[in-house]
Amino acid sequence: MEDFAYILDYLASGLPDQRRFRREPVAYGIGDSEFKILELTPKPDVTLNIGERVYIGKEMEERKKIAHVKRRIGYNNLTNAAQSELPYVLFDVVKVKKEYFVKFFNEASPITTRFHALELLPGLGRKTLLSILGERKKGLFSSFEDIGKRTMLKNPDKSITKRIELELSDSHQKYYLFVQKPRKEEY
């Protein structure tokens, strides 16, 4: 369950395909723990900013800006503006949750006897994988900068951001590292 979401797009006048008398404000957001894409209903007279972190958890009195979560949606249901903001918001989330992702580099294991979970990251091939595993044996990584200095992967935060975006946008992924696998109706 997501407790917080980052706003990707906010339509104060509602969706353009709705009838004028039925329009209500809508926001699109992405959860910060399971990276679920959500359609949100903002509270009346509230303004939301792109990239803003809002509470969407169960405690209703804690919700200052969001009335309720309408539904979980797929990447293709996002507006064009939300799709273009997604990489920037994801990059910010990865930076905020860097301890979690550094831990991933320290604990990632093989998926099969011939394929390692780290190889799913864009820009990471066999040589880079071997350099990461070799350095990991010497000592655990402490930060993204540490990973960049000690291995051949210079931008681990960008690789993770691209992987999350790929998992969100391509519903035919075989393996999901960071995103909860979407349901059929979300495609």
- Which CATH number does 4-82 carry? 2.40.50.140
Find tokens 């990251």 and name the residue.
121
Of all helices (H) and strands (E), which one includes residue 37?
strand 37-42
Question: 187 pLDDT exceeds 60?
Answer: no
- Judge contact between 5 and 28, C-beta under 8 A: no
What does the pLDDT average to over 70-94?
A: 94
d(CA 5, CA 16): 23
State if pTM tops 0.85: yes
What pLDDT is attached to residue 70?
A: 93
Domain 97-172 belongs to what topology?
DNA polymerase; domain 1 (1.10.150)
Residue range(s) occupied by CATH 1.10.150.280 in the chain: 97-172
CA 86 to each of CA 37, 39, 83, 115, 142: distance values in angstroms, whole numbers, following the listed order: 10, 14, 5, 29, 27
* Of 21, 24, 168, 1, the residue nearest 10 (C-alpha): 24
The answer to whether residues 86 and 78 touch, using CB atoms and an 8 Å cutoff, is yes
- State the pLDDT confidence band at 55, using cuts at 50, 70 and 90: very high
**Is the confidence at residue 101, as pLDDT, over 80?**
yes
Region 81-92 average pLDDT: 96
Asked whether the beta carbons of 9 and 82 are under 8 A apart, the reply is yes
Which segments of the chain belong to CATH 2.40.50.140? 4-82
Q: Is the dihedral of CA 83, 87, 93, 99 positive or negative?
A: positive
10-14, 49-53, 122-126, 182-186: the lowest-pLDDT one: 182-186
Q: Are 99 and 107 in contact (CB under 8 A)?
A: no
Average pLDDT of every residue of the chain: 91
- What is d(CA 20, CA 89) in angstroms, rounded to the nearest whole number? 31
Sequence-separated (6 or more) residues with CB below 8 Å from residue 124: 118, 132, 153, 159
